[in-house]
Amino acid sequence: MNRSNHQEAFPQLETKRLVLRELRLEDAEAIFHFYGDEEVIRYRDVLAFTRLEEAQQFLELVGTRYEQGKEMHWGITLKGEDCLIGSCGYSWHLGPQFGAIGYDLARLYWKQGIMTEAIQTLLRFGFEVRNLHRIEAKVRLGNDASMRLLQRLGSQEEGILRECLFIHNHFYDVKVFSLLTSEYKTMDEQQ
CA angle, residues 7, 15, 74, in degrees to nearest 5: 45
Domain locations along the chain: 13-190
The pLDDT assigned to 188 comes to 62
pLDDT of res. 189: 62
pLDDT for 181 beyond 70 = yes
For the cut 90, the answer to whether the pLDDT of residue 119 exceeds it is yes
pLDDT, tens digit, 9 for 90 and up, residues 61-80: 999 999 999 999 999 999 99
Average model confidence (pLDDT) for the chain? 91
CB atoms within 10 A of CB 54: 18
The reply to whether CATH 3.40.50.1970 applies to domain 13-190 is: no
Of 149, 152, 146, give the one whose Cα is nearest residue 174. 146
Q: What is the pTM of this model?
A: 0.90
Residue 4 has pLDDT above 60, yes or no: no
**Would you place residue 142 in the very low, low, confident or very high pLDDT band (cuts 50, 70, 90)?**
very high
Say which residues have a Cβ less than 8 Å from residue 59's Cβ, sequence separation at least 6. Answer: 1, 23, 24, 25, 27, 28, 31
Mean pLDDT of 136-163: 96
